[in-house]
Amino acid sequence: MQTVEYAEWIPYEPAAIYQFLTDPHNLASVVGRIQAAEVVERQGETGKVRVMLDIPTRRAVETTGDVFGVLNEELNFQTHEPFPLEFQWQFIPQEQDGIAGTDVHASLGIDLSLFGMAMGSMLIRGIVMSDLRADMERLQSGMRALYG
């Protein structure tokens, strides 16, 4: 499994970001490759979520994965069907120019060998990096809409 990472500072506290992303509707509006998300089961900071994924070599794939979080620190999604996929958000408090905010680290681990025949690994990595950047822009936009 290869992992692609992207980090960016945004001017919102970790608790607000965590709360925003743990809402399935918000998560689907932020992560461009998630067309829909539905909570199947939830117990505290863990559970199962059914998502409809838009992946580069197929139109859409439905999968159910495990979600677990560390309150206000990180949020993780893992699935093994139709291929191994791990998505993680980490929220690290960081002040910039006197403004409280968060370094948000997003990473996507994916078994690129399954895409080898259709697309090269460098191309997939480039697509994933572009997706993570766009996800971060949508996160900031959603946070601005909610919190100003």
Beta bridge partners of residue 99, listed in sequence order? 96
- CA 46, CA 108: separation in Å to the nearest integer? 19
Report percent pLDDT > 90 for the chain: 57
Report percent pLDDT > 70 for the chain: 91
Please enumerate in sequence order all residues whose Cβ is within 8 A of that of 10, keeping only pairs 6 or more positions apart, or say none.
17, 101, 102, 104, 136, 139, 140, 143
Please enumerate in sequence order all residues whose Cβ is within 8 A of that of 33, keeping only pairs 6 or more positions apart, or say none.
53, 54, 55, 131
Domain boundaries, the chain: 2-146
pLDDT at 84: 83
Stronger pLDDT, 75 or 54, i.e. the higher one: 75
Element (H or E) spanning 13, and its range? none
Total residues belonging to the chain: 148
Which tokens sit at 59? 């139109």
Return the SS3 of 84.
coil
CATH of 2-146, one of 3.40.710.10, 3.10.310.30, 1.10.10.10, 3.30.530.20: 3.30.530.20
Dihedral sign for Cα atoms in the order 118, 123, 128, 134: negative
Stronger pLDDT, 119 or 84, i.e. the higher one: 84
